[in-house]
Amino acid sequence: MISWTQYKSLVRDSGAESRRAYITAVVKQRLHQRRFRERVLLAYREQCACCKLRHVELLDAAHIIADSKPEGIPAVTNGIALCKLHHAAFDANLMGIRPDYIIEVRKDVLEEEDGPMLLHGLKGMDKRKIILPIPKRLSPDPSLLEKRFQEYRATG
């Protein structure tokens, strides 16, 4: 929580000059990312594999194994359609997906008390099976999930 003095300083510092400041940046973008996203979202019928959210603008194609690693190929079997919340939780290892497609939420997150987003958005996913693609041959590769799940386990 911020103090009254910090709040006044924040309000005072939010003048027009700070809102109009810009920076030019060079962004490195993976060439295959757009096609990978399209293929993964199509396989999952444009819904989050965890919560079934269907707003495409809020969906990502999450890599099971990062594409910066040798096993991180841009194949649908190395991807899962996740909403922004579940993608961030997956990448941060707040939740993992077992090779049998069951979601596991980290113990410290399950014990945490917070608002409805934590309760329903994360804690409510624990022990649920993810939605799998159609056709089933596009399902996440269990060996990749196992490797990633071990990474998740190491953080908890």
Task: List the domain range (segments joined by +) for residue 111.
Answer: 28-155
- The stretch 5-25 carries a mean pLDDT of 67
Structural domain includes residue 7:
no
Count of domains for the chain:
1
Is 9 inside any structural domain? no
pTM across the whole model = 0.81
User: CA gyration radius for the chain?
Assistant: 19
Q: What is the pLDDT of residues 137-149, one digit of tens each?
A: 999 999 999 999 9
151, part of any domain? yes
Instruction: Pinpoint the alpha helices (H) of the chain.
Output: 4-12, 16-19, 33-43, 84-91, 107-111, 116, 142-155
Q: 4 lies in a domain?
A: no
The answer on pLDDT for 12 being more than 80 is no
pLDDT digits over 96-126, tens only? 999 999 999 999 999 988 888 888 989 999 9
